[in-house]
Chain A
Amino acid sequence: MEIYLYDSSFEGFLTAVFENYKTKGVIRKENAFVPDMFASTIRVETDPEKADRVWAGLSKKLSADALHQYFSVFLSELENIEDQLLNYTRHVFENQVSVERDFGNHFVLFVAQTARKVHREKHRMEAFVRFQLTKDGIYFSLVSPDYNVLPLIIKHFKDRYADQRWMIYDKVRNYGIYYDLEKVDTVWMEMDKQEGIWDETEGDYQALWQTYYKGANIAGRVNRKLQLQHMPKRYWKYLPELR
């Protein structure tokens, strides 16, 4: 069996779909691939032209929503997600009519449900990002999302915080997005010591927020299970109100 290895980028994946469409090989990320002596591997050189052709083909068959879902599913980075997307891609191209709402089909339902999971994580980031003001006047937040959702939240934060510089840094994937009052760029940085970098008012507002959080609770209605259901523990480490 042929294994097509790509560079983990979305364009790289689409290029691999192009190369592999007719053969029955599988597509894997190069950096996560464990060599297998029985398989032959082919390294895919990311090619914007080929990627564009696949995307243009999909665009003819799928609505804007479905294209967005497709990209979201890719960002889930679930194990062997390439297989699912490849199957879905074939299913889309093999049918004359649009199949994106054929939820009785396994591939279609999988894409819809996975896109929903990614969307939920995106929404959680919009909720649980907590900015801290640095001495340089940048509102900074660390996150560790389950899926690679930073590309999906750029617009939300750019529209909302148009008049402040901000950075959201994904600690798991080690990259961030930075808004400089005009545009958003991808950035990498060393995560060393954080003491002494915060604005002197930062602690005051965190303390006020903690005071508010305590005051808003109704002790007679305590329901920890419901709280956890909406706000699972893994998100707590970045929330000042829960420290």
Chain B
Amino acid sequence: MQERVHEKLSILADAAKYDVSCASSGSDRKNTNKGLGNAHPGMGICHSYTPDGRCISLLKILLTNYCIYDCAYCVSRKSNDIKRAAFTVQEVVDLTINFYRRNYIEGLFLSSGIFKDPDYTMERMVRIAKDLRTTHKFNGYIHLKAIPGASNELMQEAGMYADRLSVNLELPTEEGLKLLAPEKKRADMIQPMNYLKNEIIRLDDERKVLKKVPTFVPAGQSTQVIVGAGKETDKDIVHLASRFYQQFQLKRVYYSGYVPISNDARLPGLGNQVPMMRENRLYQADWLMRFYGFKAQELLDDTHPQLDTEVDPKLSWALRNLHLFPVDVNIADKMLIARVPGIGMNSVNKIIAARSFSALGWDQLQQLGVQINRAKYFITCKKGAMEKKDLTSEQIRRQILSQSHSKYQNLHSPQLSLF
């Protein structure tokens, strides 16, 4: 019995790991019933890190890897000759509770292959969440995949028990989807996202006038796109993300660098590198949009359809817009300082607080956490003007690059290694 659970866990964790969403934050579910677990005050915790450097926050598993679909990029596709397994409801509940009690995890992330049909699959996932919440008084974090094509009633019920629901867009472009997952349609994915968005808004409105409105996906919805499986540009991806953040009020868009899993001619073959640097740049661009006030078209447009591989997107933007600098950190508007390369949001807040006591100089900026070797080209402060005037953006770029070592250096070295 124990051995069989080990085997299932091994298969179904392995199949779930390509979903990169890991957040356990943003919920406000309190432990008010003296039960188990607490997702309040909404700060996520990473409990462990695997050798790939990714965090483990949730028990991330598939309910089953049996699937009726045959999407080329997916390891669980129907035509793939792999071991299949399916958990029972009781097994998932037991693992979640016992891992949680030992402080291994923040909760459960449950996804699934589609067996029989979407409703049949979704219904089993909802049953697990319901059992955890009601029978076991579990207040930890639950993230469920919303299965495209499942009924609105099931979606509604899922929202009552889950902290977060997500529908994966899978591929950034419709052409990509047509080529690699011909059985799936973009519209089928958008339908549940739209339903969830409307329900969240409707219940929020009700909450303003009524006292007892049940919680409904308190940590909102997110999605994931696979990067590097199709022919899409960074502009396609970032503009898509920006649109979805606005249209569906998503909490997060995740970017998953395609990990080659087959020799299908439509895809990068086995042995190709995972596009980790590209993925990293996309997350940086995403951060700039969500926290630093950048718009998608400022970062990428038709003349610059790809993110710079050498420098990060903020520096890249600043180098294209030198006419907006230098910025005087002692008087400039907060969101303008946030646009300076080498100054993160923590430093911005400290600068804004400190400058109301006295004007800041270079030493103090450095102590506050500003990366002076980057920022110096773009700011002025108490002592003196900019480091050096009249540098072209190409000169600044070279100077900054000569002082820094990219952690991805070996990935964009032109030399190919033999193995």
Contact = CB atoms under 8 A, between A and B. Distances in A.
A223 interface: yes
B396 interface: no
A215 B60 CA distance: 10
B357 A99 contact: yes
Given A141-B103, A164-B36, A226-B53, A221 B350 contact: no
Interface in B14-49: 14, 16-18, 30-31, 34-38, 40, 45-49
B312 to A, nearest CB: 17
Nearest to B270: A220
A223 B53 contact: yes
Contacts of A201: 98
A132 interface: yes
| Residue with the highest number of chain A CB atoms closer than 10 Å, among B56, B95, B356, B358 | B56
A197 B367 CA distance: 50
Contacts of B162: none
B40 A208 contact: no
A207 B6 contact: yes
Interface in A187-243: 201, 204-205, 207-209, 211-227, 229-231, 239, 241-242
B36 A216 contact: no
Contact of A230 (B2, B55, B61, B99): B55
A215 B50 CA distance: 10
Interface residues of B, number: 61
A222 B50 CA distance: 9
B43 to A, nearest CB: 8
Interface string A125-136: 011111111000
Given A164-B36, A213-B50, A231-B48, A218 B354 contact: no
A29 to B, nearest CB: 28
Interface in A107-147: 109, 112, 123, 126-133, 139, 141
A109 B345 CA distance: 17
B353 interface: yes
Contacts of B51: 217, 222-224, 227
Interface residues on A, range: 35 or more
B386 interface: no
A160 interface: yes
A128 to B, nearest CB: 7
B172 to A, nearest CB: 20
A104 interface: yes
B35 A162 contact: yes
B260 to A, nearest CB: 7
Interface string B372-393: 0000000000000000000000
Given A131-B103, A213-B50, A215-B14, 13 more contacts: A127-B47, A131-B101, A141-B103, A159-B30, A161-B36, A162-B38, A208-B99, A212-B99, A215-B9, A218-B18, A218-B52, A219-B52, A227-B50
Interface of A: 99, 101-105, 109, 112, 123, 126-133, 139, 141, 159-164, 201, 204-205, 207-209, 211-227, 229-231, 239, 241-242
30 contacts: A101-B353, A103-B368, A123-B45, A133-B101, A133-B102, A160-B31, A161-B36, A161-B37, A162-B34, A162-B38, A201-B98, A205-B102, A207-B6, A209-B104, A211-B6, A211-B9, A212-B59, A213-B48, A215-B14, A215-B17, A216-B13, A218-B274, A219-B52, A221-B274, A222-B53, A223-B53, A224-B51, A229-B53, A230-B49, A231-B49
Interface of B: 2, 5-6, 9-14, 16-18, 30-31, 34-38, 40, 45-56, 59-61, 95, 98-99, 101-104, 137, 257, 259-260, 274, 276, 350-351, 353-358, 360, 364, 367-368, 407
What 4 A-B pairs come out closest when comparing CB atoms? A226-B53, A215-B13, A223-B53, A101-B353
